[in-house]
Chain A
Amino acid sequence: MSASLGMFWLDGAESAAAFDPVLPGLIVLLPLLGFLANGWLALRHAERSADAVRRGEELDLDTGGRPSTHTLPSLIGPGVLLASFALVVVNFVRMSAVELHDPVVVRYWTWMATGTFTVDAALQFDQLSMIMMLVVTGVGFLIHVFSVGYMKDDPGYPRYFAYLNLFVFFMLVLVTGASFPVMFVGWEGVGLCSYLLIGFWFGDREKSDAGKKAFIVNRIGDFGFLVALFILFINFQTLDFVTVFGEAPEALTYGGGVVTAITLFLLLGAAGKSAQIPLYVWLPDAMAGPTPVSALIHAATMVTAGVYMVARASVLFALSPVGSVTVAGVGVATALFAATIALTQTDIKKVLAYSTVSQLGYMFLGVGVGAYAAGVFHLMTHAFFKALLFLGSGAVIHSMHHALHHTHNPADAQDMRNMGGMRRFMPFTALAMWIATLAIAGIWPFAGFFSKDEIIWYAGAAAVGPYAGLYTVYWVLALAAAMLTAFYMTRMMVMTFHGANRTGDEESKHLHEAPWTMTVPLGVLAVLSMFGGWINVPEAIRESFLGLGGALPMSEWLHHWLEPITHAATQVREEALLAAGALAGQEHDYGFLHHAPFGGGELTWALVSTVAAAVVVAGTVLWVRGWSLAPASESPEPTGFRKVLYDKWYVDELYDRIIVQPLLAVSRFFWRFIDQVIIDGFVNVVGGGARAVGWFVSLFQTGSVNTYAFVITLGVLAILGAVVAGG
C-alpha cells in the first residue's frame, strides 16, 4: 500500500516531453488526503455527539471553546486546496514556458486488464486539463475559504469539508483522467459528492429528496455516456484519449452513423451532468444544498463537466455535423428556456440556478458550433462570476437567516420579496454582486461580455454549410436569451439590494455584513469577474475602441493556448466545409465567416449586444424600482402567463405524469402481483410443504426406544427384502 502510494507521486512522467509535470499526482491526491483527515474528524464528532445524546445532553459547540473537530477542518479543508492550487500554478508556469503540442500522460498502474481491454490509471496533462485544474482548485479554494465563515455554526462542519474535499478530488480526476474510464470515475464521483452535499441536511425530507433526484436524473445521462463508451471501444479497441482522438479522423467516416451515435450518446451524458434539456430538472432542486456547494458544484465546476467533455471529445463532435448541431440546439434551447423561467422566480437561489442552466446552455452552444475555445472561455468566466453571485447570495442568506433567527421569524430567508434595500446593510456584497451581474449580462468590459459575446458571434459566424439556417436561428435565439439574462439578473439585484427593506423593523436591526472569511473570496472573485475576460479578447475588438485601442494586455490568448487541443477538430470542420464548397468566395477563419447572417462584423455585433444589454439593465433598474413589492407572506400569487413561468412551464409535473407515474404503476404491478402473489406465493407453498412434511414425520418421534427399534427393524426388513429379491 505504502509502496504504491509512494509511487503515486514519485514516479514522474514517462514521456520525454519538454514539459515535465511537477508532482502531478499530488495535485489530485491532496484533496483526497484532506477528505480522509476531515472524514476522520467527522466520525470522531459523530461519536462524541452520540455519546452526548446517550448521556441525555446535547453537544454544545459554542460554550467552552470549539472542539478540535470543528477547528481543524478550517485549516485542512482550504489548506489542501491551496497547496493543490499552488502546484497547479507551478505546473501551469512550466507548461507555458514550453511549446507543448502533445499531451503529457502520466501512467501509474494498470487499473484493469481483461482480454483486449486495458485501462491504465493515468493522468493527462495538457492545455485543457490545465485550465480546468486552475479553475477547480482556484475557485474551489476561494469557496472553501468562504465556507469557513458560512458553515461555522453548522454541527456537521467537519463532514461538510470532508465531502467538499472529496468532491475536488473527483473533479480533478475527471479533468485530468487520460482515458474515458478514468474520466468516468471522476464523473461518477462528483455525482456522488453532489448527492451527498445536496442532501447535506438530510434531516429535511425535501432536501434529501432533492439529492436523490439529482442522482437519479444523472443516472439517465450516465447511461448515455456508457453506451457511447461501448461504441467507442468497439471501434477503437481502446478508450485512451490520445489514441481515440488521434485515430478518429481516419477511423470514422465524416458524418457517418457511428460517430453520430457516439456524439449523441455523449451528449445525453453531458446533458445529464450539465443540466441541459431534457435533464436539467435536477439542478434547480439541487439548491437545497448549502450555498457554497451550489457555488462550487452546481455553478462553477461539476456542471461544466459536460462542456469539458464535449471540448475534450471535440474531434468526435467535429466529425459529426448532426451531433454538433444537436449540441448547439440543445444548448441554445436550454439557454432561452431556463432564462424565461428565471424571469419570475422569487427565490434568490432559484434565479441563480436557472441562470446557471441558461449559461451552461451558452457553453453548449459554443462547443456545438465548433468554437470549443469560446465554450471553455465562457466556462471559465462563468465560474468566476457565477461563483461570486452564489457566494454573494450566500452572504445575503446568511445575514437574513441570522436576522430572522433573532426574532424567530418563520419567513423564508431566501425569498427576495422578504429582502430589499440590502445594500445599506451589506455594501461590499452588493458591490461585488453588481460587478458579477454586469459581467453575466454581458456589459463591456466585464468578463462575461467577452466570453458570452464570443459564443454568440461564433453561432452567427458558423451559419454556413448545410445547417446555415439552423445556426442563424440559434444566433437570434442566443441574442434574445442574452437580453433576458440582463433583465432577470438586474431584477434580482434590484429586488434584493434596492428599494425599501421588507424584512421587518425588528429583524433589519440584525442584518449585517458578512465576516472577512466570506468577503475576501467575494473580493477576489469580483476582481476576476472584472478582468478575467481580458485573456481572450478577440483581435478585432482589441484593435478597436472596445479594446481600448490595443491597450488590453493580451488578445486571444486562450485561443492560442487551446490550439493543440482544438486544432484537429477545427481542421476537420474546415476541410468538410471546403469540400462542400460552402466557403467559396467568402472570407473566413477556420471555416467561420467574417460576418454575421444579416451582415455586420464581430465588432459591430459586440457593440450592438453590449449597448442593448446596457439599455435592458438600465431600463430594468428603473422599472423594477417602481414596483410596489410586499413581503412573501403578503404577496399575491402570480397569475396568467406569469404563473406558468413561475411554475417552470410545469415541466416537473409533465415528467411526473409521463415518466414517474407510469414507472410507479409498473413497479406497483411488479410489487403487488409478481412479487407478492407469484414469488411470495411460490416461496410460501414450498415452506408450507416443508412444514407439513415435518409435522407428519414428527409423529414418528415418540421418544420411546421401542418405536425406534421397531422402525429400525422394519428398515432392515426392507433392505433385506430388496437384497433377497434382487438376487
Chain B
Amino acid sequence: MAEILFFVFATVAVGSALGVVMGRSPVASLLFMVMTLASVAGIYVLLEAHFLAAIQVIVYAGAIMVLFMFVIMLLNLGHDYQRDLRGGLFALVAFVVSGAMAGLLARRFGGDEALFPFLEGADAIDAALVEKGALGVIAEPLFTTYVVPFEITGILLLVAIVGALVLAKRRAS
C-alpha cells in the first residue's frame, strides 16, 4: 500500500514539477507548484514526518505560495501567456548540464540499498514517535539542542520583514 501511494505521489510530484518549469503563465506554474508541494507533503507522511507534512501544506503551499500569487496579481502578470523559455543552444546546454547532474545523483543514490548502511536507525525513530508523539519528537531537539539557531531564525525573519518593507516601499520621489 505504502509503495503504491509513494509512486502515485512521486509521479504527481514529478509531473507537476515539469508543469512548473513548462507552464505557460506564472499562475499556471504556481498552481503546479502547489501540487508538487502537496505531493511531497504526502511523501513526508509516508516517511513518518507528520509535523513537517502539516507545515509543508500550511506554511509552504498555503502561506508562501499565496505570497507569490499576491505578487503576480500585484504586478498584473496573470495574463502573461507568452512562453519565456529560452530556446536553441542554451536550452540544449541547460538540458545537458541538468542531465549530467541527474546522472550523477542517480548514480550516487539510485538502486543500491547497500549505499545506506545506516538505514536500520528507522526503528529508533518509530519508537520515539510512539513515545513522544509526532510533535514531541521534533519539538524536543528544536527547543533544547537547537534553541540558539531557533532564536536566530527568529531574528532572520525579523530582518527579512524589515528588508522586504524597505525594498518594496514606494520611494517618495
Contact = CB atoms under 8 A, between A and B. Distances in A.
B124 interface: no
B18 interface: no
Interface stretch (A235-243, A403-411, A712-720): A712-720
A721 to B, nearest CB: 6
Contacts of A720: 101, 104-105
B108 A717 contact: no
B169 interface: no
A705 interface: no
Interface in B117-152: none
B97 A714 contact: yes
A724 interface: yes
Interface of B: 94, 97, 100-101, 104-105, 107-108
A723 interface: yes
Interface in A687-714: 710, 713-714
B104 to A, nearest CB: 5
Nearest to A716: B101
A375 B96 CA distance: 100
A724 to B, nearest CB: 5
A717 B100 CA distance: 8
A23 B113 CA distance: 96
Contacts of B101: 713, 716-717, 720
B35 to A, nearest CB: 24
Contacts of B97: 710, 713-714, 717
Contacts of B100: 717
16 contacts: A710-B94, A710-B97, A713-B101, A714-B97, A716-B101, A717-B100, A717-B101, A717-B104, A720-B101, A720-B104, A720-B105, A721-B104, A723-B108, A724-B104, A724-B107, A724-B108
Q: What does DSSP make chain A's interface, helix, strand, loop or mixed?
A: helix
Given A710-B94, A713-B101, 15 more contacts: A710-B97, A713-B97, A714-B97, A716-B101, A717-B97, A717-B100, A717-B101, A717-B104, A720-B101, A720-B104, A721-B104, A723-B108, A724-B104, A724-B107, A724-B108
Contacts, number: 18
Interface of A: 710, 713-714, 716-717, 720-721, 723-724
A721 B103 CA distance: 10
A721 B94 CA distance: 17
Contacts of A716: 101
Contacts of A723: 108
Nearest to B100: A717
Contacts of B107: 724
A716 to B, nearest CB: 7
B86 to A, nearest CB: 8
A671 B119 CA distance: 73
8 nearest A-B residue pairs (beta carbon): A720-B104, A724-B104, A724-B108, A717-B101, A713-B97, A724-B107, A717-B100, A721-B104
A632 B97 CA distance: 97
A723 B104 CA distance: 9
A219 to B, nearest CB: 64
Contacts of A721: 104
B157 to A, nearest CB: 25
B90 to A, nearest CB: 9
A10 to B, nearest CB: 61
A390 B127 CA distance: 110
Contacts of B104: 717, 720-721, 724
A342 to B, nearest CB: 87
B71 to A, nearest CB: 17
A716 B107 CA distance: 16
A656 to B, nearest CB: 74
Nearest to B93: A710
Contacts of B108: 723-724
A710 to B, nearest CB: 8
Nearest to A720: B104
Nearest to A725: B104
Contacts of A717: 97, 100-101, 104
B19 to A, nearest CB: 21
A199 to B, nearest CB: 63
Nearest to B97: A713
A710 B91 CA distance: 12
A720 B104 CA distance: 7
A484 to B, nearest CB: 94
A714 B105 CA distance: 14
Nearest to B98: A713
A710 B101 CA distance: 13
A135 B51 CA distance: 100
A717 B97 CA distance: 8
